[in-house]
Amino acid sequence: MSETVWTLRQLLTSGVAETIVQHTYQEEQHRPHMSCPTCARRLTARGPVHRCVETMVGTIELERPYFYCLGCREGTYPLDEVLDVSAGRIQRDVQQAAVDLATEVPYETASTLLSRLSGMTVSSERLHTFTTQVAEGLSVLDVAPPRDEIDQRVARVAAGRFRRPVLVLGIDGAYVPSRPDSARGRRPGQARYRARRARWRHAWYEAKGFRFYLLDGDRIVHLLSWHQVQSDDDLGKALQKIKDAGLIPEDTVRLCVIGDGADWIWKHVQALFPDACQVLDYYHCAEYLHKVAYAHYGHTLQALEWVEATLTRLYQGHVGAVLGGLRRMQPTSDEAAKAIDNCWVHLHEHRRRTHYGTLRRGGYPLGSGGIESSNKFICHVRLKRSGAWWYEASSNQMLALRCAKYNGTFDQVFARYRQEKMGA
Ligand SMILES: [Zn+2]
pLDDT digits (tens, 9 = 90+) for 375-407: 999 999 998 887 788 888 889 999 999 999 999
Measure 77 CA to ligand 1 centroid, in angstroms: 14
Convert the pLDDT of each residue in 13-55 to its tens digit.
999 999 999 899 888 888 899 999 889 899 999 988 999 999 9
Ligand 1 is an ion; residues with CB less than 5 A from it: 36, 38-39, 41, 69, 71-72
What is the percentage of the chain residues whose pLDDT exceeds 70?
96
Q: Would you state the pLDDT for residue 186?
A: 58
Give the pLDDT of residue 325.
92
74 CA distance to ligand 1 centroid (A)? Answer: 7
User: In the predicted model, is pLDDT for residue 171 greater than 70?
Assistant: yes
Is pLDDT of 124 > 70?
yes
Q: How far is the CA of 75 from the centre of ligand 1 (A)?
A: 9
Calculate how far, in angstroms, residue 72's C-alpha sits from the geometric centre of ligand 1. Answer: 4
Give the Å distance between the CA of 33 and the centre of ligand 1.
13
Ligand 1: centre distance to CA 424 (Å)? 19
Confidence grade of residue 132 (pLDDT, cut at 50, 70, 90): very high
The secondary structure of the chain, three-state, reads CHHHHHHHHHHHHHHHHHHHHHHHCHHHHCCCEEECCCCCCEEECEEEEEEEEEECCEEEEEEEEEEEECCCCEEECHHHHHHCCCCCCECHHHHHHHHHHHCCCCHHHHHHHHHHHHCCCCCHHHHHHHHHHHHCCCCHHHHCCCHHHHHHHHHHHHCCCCCCCEEEEEEEEEEEEECCHHHCCCCCCCHHHHCCCCCCCCEEEEEEEEEEEEEECCEEEEEEEEEEECCHHHHHHHHHHHHHCCCCCCCCCEEEEEECCCHHHHHHHHHHCCCCEEEECHHHHHHHHHHHHHHHHCCCHHHHHHHHHHHHHHHCCCHHHHHHHHHHCCCCCHHHHHHHHHHHHHHHHCHHHCCHHHHHHCCCCCCCHHHHHHHHHHHHHHHCCCCCCECHHHHHHHHHHHHHHHHCCHHHHHHHHHHHHHHC
The pLDDT value recorded for residue 4 is 92
pLDDT of amino acid 205: 87
76 Cα to the center of ligand 1, angstroms: 11
At 154 the pLDDT is 95
Q: Is the pLDDT of residue 218 over 90?
A: no
Per-residue pLDDT, averaged over 218-225, amounts to 92
Mean pLDDT to the nearest integer, 226-252: 93
- Arithmetic mean of pLDDT, 91-98: 92
Going from the Cα of 17 to the center of ligand 1, the distance in angstroms, rounded, reads 32
> 84 alpha carbon to ligand 1 midpoint, in Å?
22
* Cα 43 to middle of ligand 1, angstroms: 8
| Residue 261: predicted pLDDT | 83
Cα of 38 vs centre of ligand 1, distance in Å, is: 5
CA of 420 relative to ligand 1 center, distance in Å: 24
* pLDDT value, residue 185: 66
CA of 66 to the centre of ligand 1 (A): 14
Average pLDDT, the chain: 90
Q: What pTM was computed for the model?
A: 0.87
% of the chain surpassing 90 pLDDT: 64
pLDDT band for position 368 (50/70/90)? confident
pLDDT of residue 287: 92
Per-residue pLDDT tens for 242-280? 999 999 999 999 999 999 888 888 989 989 999 999 999
Spacing, Cα 22 to ligand 1 middle (Å): 28
Predicted confidence at residue 47, as pLDDT, reads: 80
Mean pLDDT of 140-156: 95
**pLDDT band, very low/low/confident/very high, at 221 (cuts 50, 70, 90):** very high
pLDDT at 59 over 70: yes
Res 239: pLDDT? 94
Rounded to the nearest angstrom, the distance between the alpha carbon of 90 and the centre of ligand 1 is 29
Span from the CA of 85 to the centroid of ligand 1 (angstroms): 22
How many whole angstroms from 48 Cα to the centroid of ligand 1?
Answer: 20
What confidence score (pLDDT) does residue 289 get?
94
Q: Mean pLDDT, to the nearest integer, of 61-87?
A: 90
Centroid of ligand 1 to alpha carbon of 73 (angstroms): 7
In angstroms, what is the span from residue 70 Cα to ligand 1's centroid? 7
Distance 79 CA to ligand 1 centre (A): 18
Which residue did the predictor score with more confidence, 11 or 187?
11
